[in-house]
Amino acid sequence: MTDDIGQEHIPELYSLRKAITHDNQNYWLERLANELPLFIAKAKDSVYPRNRHFNLDNLFCGPRYGIRTRSEAEWEEWCIHTWSIRHGIKTPKPVRKAWHRLVARQVPLETPDRRNLLTADLVGISEDGFPVIVELKKHTKQAPILGVILQALFYGIRLKQSWSYFFEEWHEILSKYNWPTVQFQPHRVYLVCAAPSEYWKHEFSPRFVPDLKLYFEVKKALDSCGFPLSFVSLSKRTVNKVGFRVMAKPIDFIPTTF
């Protein structure tokens, strides 16, 4: 834990997620379980709401199914190609406890004149019509679970704070694809931490897995603050010599299989 972070009573979430390590994440889980509304309030105070150009037409840039490397950008493209809102409502099936469809990738949620442009990896819509923030990590870029959760929460707070501007473009894109259920107020913003199975195997190993009780206390606190949390394991299934299909599986905190 860095000194400047440790000396702050309520750290700013974006800075905190960078300071999370496997050694200190249980400490911060306990802090968050007990003080989450204060962390969220401080994060809201730092928001300068974006008022236009949320890039919601950026559905995908074309999946590169013949490439073996697995960068985060490629996983984003593969996922949004598979679950794009362009496919309609019925097929493919929604990812249970995660998203029904994915709407856009690399969605900016901060005014560019305040800091470096901050973008959510993927934004989707839930089966009950609320927005979904998907924070995606590739398998070679290990990050403690809590750091990934905090980054998703950081974007979720910014989406809520920008809602009066965001909703105009959100409603427009959902109407364009005849989406039947649209929530006019963001009473919930779902947070999904998604990563290839290799990431979860690493982070759920006995050496790195966070305290189970503390995790569930934080999960309960997030839900009560309007940010339900879930995890998704991503994988690829070969369908022929040159192609594959992306799979997304909701997982429990201590999964036995991936």
pLDDT above 50: residue 48: yes
d(CA 172, CA 178): 10
Calculate the CA 135 to chain-centre distance.
Answer: 3
In eight-state DSSP terms, residue 231 is: E
Residue 209: both structure tokens together: 């897995």
For residue 250, is the peptide bond before it cis, meaning its omega torsion is within 30 degrees of 0?
A: no
Q: Which domain holds residue 194?
A: 3-251
pLDDT above 90: residue 143: no
Structure confidence at residue 50 (pLDDT):
87
pLDDT above 80: residue 239: no
In a domain, 148, yes or no: yes
Structure confidence at residue 66 (pLDDT):
41
Structure confidence at residue 222 (pLDDT):
98
Q: How many distinct structural domains can be found in the chain? A: 1
Structure confidence at residue 175 (pLDDT):
94
What is the pLDDT confidence band of residue 7, given thresholds at 50, 70 and 90?
A: very low
In a domain, 42, yes or no: yes
In eight-state DSSP terms, residue 84 is: B
Query: Across-strand partners of 134?
Result: 122, 192
pLDDT above 70: residue 141: no
Structure confidence at residue 63 (pLDDT):
43
CB 202 within 8 A of CB 241: no
- What is the spatial order of strands in the sheet that 101-108 belongs to? 101-108, 119-125, 131-136, 190-196, 229-238, 244-251
In a domain, 258, yes or no: no
pLDDT above 70: residue 256: no
What is the torsion angle, in degrees rounded to the nearest 10, for the CA atoms of residue 79, residue 170, residue 94 and residue 106? 20
List pLDDT tens digits, range 63-88: 444 443 458 889 999 999 999 999 99
Q: Considering the entire predicted model, what is its pTM?
A: 0.90
In a domain, 9, yes or no: yes
In eight-state DSSP terms, residue 129 is: S
Structure confidence at residue 6 (pLDDT):
43
List pLDDT tens digits, range 176-191: 999 998 899 999 999 9
List pLDDT tens digits, range 188-209: 999 999 999 999 999 999 999 9
Please give the residue that has the higher pLDDT: either 38 or 51: 38
Whether the CA torsion 79, 84, 89, 90 is positive or negative: it is negative
pLDDT above 90: residue 21: yes
Structure confidence at residue 52 (pLDDT):
87
d(CA 205, CA 213): 16
In a domain, 7, yes or no: yes
Structure confidence at residue 112 (pLDDT):
66
Mean pLDDT of 164-179: 94
What's the one-letter identity of residue 227? Answer: F
Mean pLDDT of 18-27: 95
Calculate the CA 27 to chain-centre distance.
Answer: 22
d(CA 183, CA 35): 28
What is the pLDDT confidence band of residue 16, given thresholds at 50, 70 and 90?
A: very high
List pLDDT tens digits, range 81-109: 999 999 998 889 999 999 999 999 999 99
Who's near 19: CB < 8 A, 6+ residues apart? 1, 2, 5, 11
Look at residues 198, 186, 182 and name the one whose alpha carbon lies nearest to residue 255: 198
In a domain, 162, yes or no: yes
pLDDT above 50: residue 5: no
Structure confidence at residue 67 (pLDDT):
41
Structure confidence at residue 93 (pLDDT):
93
Structure confidence at residue 65 (pLDDT):
41
